Chain A
Amino acid sequence: MTTTIAQPSYLEGKKGLFSWIFTLDHKRIALLYLYAIIAFFLVGMTLGLLMRLELLNPGKDLVEPTTYNQIFTLHGVIMIFLFIIPSIPAVFGNFFLPLMLGTDDVAFPKLNLLSWWLYVLGAVFALATLVFGDGPADTGWTFYAPYSVKTGTNVTMAVMAAFILGFSSILTGLNFIVTIHRLRTPGMGFNQMPLFAWGLYATSWIQLLATPVIGITLLMIVAERVFGIGLFDPSIGGDPVLYQHMFWIYSHPAVYIMALPAMGIVSEIIPTFAQRTIFGYKAIAYSSMAIAFIGYFVWGHHMFTSGMSGPAAIIFSVLTFLVAIPTAIKVFNWVATLYKGSIDVKPPLLYALAFIFNFLIGGLTGLVNGALAADIHVHDTYFVVGHFHYVMFGGTGFAFFGALHYWFPKIYGKLYNIRMANISFAIFFIGFQLLYFPMLVVGLMGMPRRYYDYLPQFHVPNVVSTVGSWILATGILMMIANLMVAYWKGKKARKNPWHGITLEWQTSSPPPLHNFDKMPEVNEKGPYHYKNAMDQ
């Protein structure tokens, strides 16, 4: 091995705004995404807090019914299209995929920058609905026809936002697929790739293949609104169920765009903090591909009460249960990895364990929704809202923040206050349970979703839920404050503070512009062969 002089880090290179917003460095683009995504997450969270405040008591507290509809639509659009879908791939995928593969950038750096600019343009469109026309869309983030065709609110601009954001997602997926196929460092076969890269690979295929479908569907909404073409509105010869088919052909696989990278992160964190070779590497890797594949065949389970035919519903219900198999394979393997490991309970591990806990509740309540007969009762109730938030926020959201804690020392070269991170995690976790578990309960009691008002018998669980939202927001703000303090005043982080053995830990913290001062060494026995990890 050749000894080399350390190069300056990517943070110490060119200065100034333009050096960032026109950068081709994957790490800087990742940080552009990070700051934008965190900002939109906070906007979405504020809208969520407003909704919970309105639901503190029955009847009108704060906003008019239409305003409430617009708030939950904007909350959904921002959280889905501007936070969860891009979050892990765009931030941590962009930053760490080339590092983990031992290369110096993604395959198409200019396309990568274009993705970010498209993201910004889509975000501008989404936020512009606030000030143009008759205000933000009031359809829900699903833009269901025929209401989305008829409402006077700013649906056209909102769906154009989703359309543009879709292109950003497609380009990121394309970039990652080519990077994984063509730019792995010499000696790294597919079965030597870290599991986060496997998760991104499976995700990228969904981004590439499913996203165009939603693009076309949303354009059809615009065509119907602007030109009156009868596609989905039955009064002019359209079929609203066709819209739901086309919407969910994308949007169910999109759930796996959100979940698979999160599962990849858990697969990174657990072996590092158990200091143990991951149990069932190939099973976890291939189950990512299986989830991505099966995920294409289950979209109809969102439509059991839509008027879709019985035989089609039965087929979709059966296929839905198949997705549980590869998901369970992952969970069992993660737990088996922890068994007899040298467990070091640090904040990233806490987030990973919270992911497993929340995702189990989200997954098992998903089986209730996937069962035809049970779904008739819980469809369009708060049970679905609770299930969805357990999977997306409890799963992907926790994994996102877990990844932020795991890789923060590598990204910035600084260490955060572990004690404060633990405390903010505890408050965040408790707030989360108080916020969303009562939704499962009131949902089973029959409280419908998407209403600004409710019957008095649902009052107590709604109070608990609203108080939970305040606790959750406190935990999140503490966590962000802790990380910001670490950025400004944190101690310098070592190259490998958690004793990880994937390639990103072989370079300095923060990494140099071209990622590695010397060629990274690939472990021939696999990316998680921990035998000598403590010697590093």
Chain B
Amino acid sequence: MENINTHTPQVAVSQHISSYKLLFTVFAGLILLTILTVLVSTTFTFSVSLAVALALMIASTKALLVAYYFMHLKYEPRFYKWMVIVVLALFTFFVIMLTIDYFTR
């Protein structure tokens, strides 16, 4: 009987190794951004909206760092980066439309 294994990936899997130095640098960056988030929330007490907006921007930066380095997006083909960009675009559209609705009611 012919043994056919058709369960073979079409794309070759490429290997990459991130240095500890890079990973710890990114980790330190994430800790600093966390501290910054706390500082923003205590400094901008006169405007909750501003504090929330700044906190969201910092959180988005942290998410990008995690995706780019810890989830290895940096090493993926351009196609996968475009997938992430499309998702971010969709999310941005959601936020824009909700904002339009809220401010024009």
Contact = CB atoms under 8 A, between A and B. Distances in A.
A309 B6 contact: no
Contacts of B20: none
B32 interface: no
A308 B97 CA distance: 11
A315 B100 contact: yes
Contacts of A242: 98
B7 A296 contact: no
B24 interface: no
* Most interface-central of A186, A249, A312 (chain B CB within 10 A): A312
B2 A104 contact: no
Interface residues on B, range: 20 to 34
Nearest to B94: A249
Nearest to A109: B7
Contact of A185 (B2, B6, B90, B98): B6
Nearest to A239: B102
Given A182-B10, A186-B10, A312-B101, A297 B93 contact: yes
Contact of B10 (A5, A183, A209): A183
Contacts of A7: 1
Given A4-B1, A307-B105, A300 B97 contact: yes
Contacts of B100: 309, 311-312, 315
Interface string A433-469: 0000000000000000000000000000000000000
B10 A184 contact: yes
Given A182-B9, A183-B9, A312-B101, A517 B2 contact: yes
B21 to A, nearest CB: 32
A494 interface: no
A517 B2 CA distance: 7
A241 interface: yes
**Binding site of A, secondary structure by majority: helix, strand, loop or mixed?**
loop
Given A182-B11, A249-B94, A312-B97, A519 B4 contact: yes
B93 A309 contact: no
A245 B101 contact: yes
A518 B2 contact: yes
A235 interface: no
Given A182-B11, A183-B10, A311 B104 contact: yes
B98 A514 contact: no
B1 A309 contact: no
Interface residues of A, number: 36
Interface in A92-134: 102-105
A514 B1 contact: no
A99 to B, nearest CB: 10
Contacts of B8: 183
A536 interface: no
A532 interface: no
Interface in A299-345: 300, 307-312, 315-316
Interface in B74-105: 87, 90, 93-94, 97-98, 100-105
A148 interface: no
B82 to A, nearest CB: 13
B45 interface: no
B49 interface: no
Contacts of A308: 101, 105
B14 interface: no
Contacts of A245: 97-98, 101
Interface in B7-26: 7-11
A315 B103 CA distance: 14
A518 B4 contact: yes
Interface in A345-359: none
Contacts of A103: 6-7
B104 A309 contact: yes
B97 A309 contact: no
A4 B2 contact: yes
A310 B104 contact: yes
Contact of A515 (B6, B9, B101, B105): B6
15 contacts: A4-B2, A5-B1, A102-B6, A104-B4, A104-B6, A105-B7, A183-B6, A183-B10, A186-B10, A242-B98, A300-B97, A308-B105, A312-B101, A312-B104, A516-B6
Interface of B: 1-2, 4-11, 87, 90, 93-94, 97-98, 100-105
Given A104-B5, A311-B100, 12 more contacts: A4-B2, A5-B1, A184-B10, A209-B87, A245-B98, A308-B105, A309-B102, A310-B104, A311-B104, A312-B97, A315-B97, A517-B4
